[in-house]
Amino acid sequence: MSQEVSITHFAPELHIPKGTFQIDFYSKWGAVEHFCFRNEDGSIHVAELDFDGAIFHVHETMRGNALEPKSAMGVTTVIGLFVPDVQKVMDRAITAGAILVNPTTDHDYGYRQGMFQDPFGHFWQIQKKI
């Protein structure tokens, strides 16, 4: 799928372990896969997805100094995703297999936020300004 983008935006690349064959968590959560290139053994090399128009990529870890969360044994980044209904997106993620990190909460600084960890260890902060 080819999309022309008329505004500046981020498209994070989330590293997954080499030899990963399934990324179905993302489609169960509601992301749409644009493409998925596989290696000769059928494992995923790179895939492009979007969640309600927010594009992101998952890519096998190939470079010596690039880590994915499990091999790094910790959080490598937090993906902040602004959505209209934080709780709905959080519920869909948990149902799809995510782990709840922080429940949806309204904060004094004017944000409603919740955080989950996806099956590959990536932290997603789902949020909206209130």
Reported as a single tens digit per residue, the pLDDT across 39-48 is 999 999 999 9
Q: How far is CA 100 from CA 29, 65, 87, in A?
A: 14, 29, 12
CATH topology assigned to domain 13-129: 2,3-Dihydroxybiphenyl 1,2-Dioxygenase; domain 1 (3.10.180)
Q: What is the pLDDT of residue 47?
A: 97
Mean pLDDT of 106-111: 96
DSSP label of 63: S
Q: What is the pLDDT of residue 6?
A: 66
pTM confidence score:
0.84
Q: Which of 75, 125, 72, 119 is nearest to 95 (CA)?
A: 119
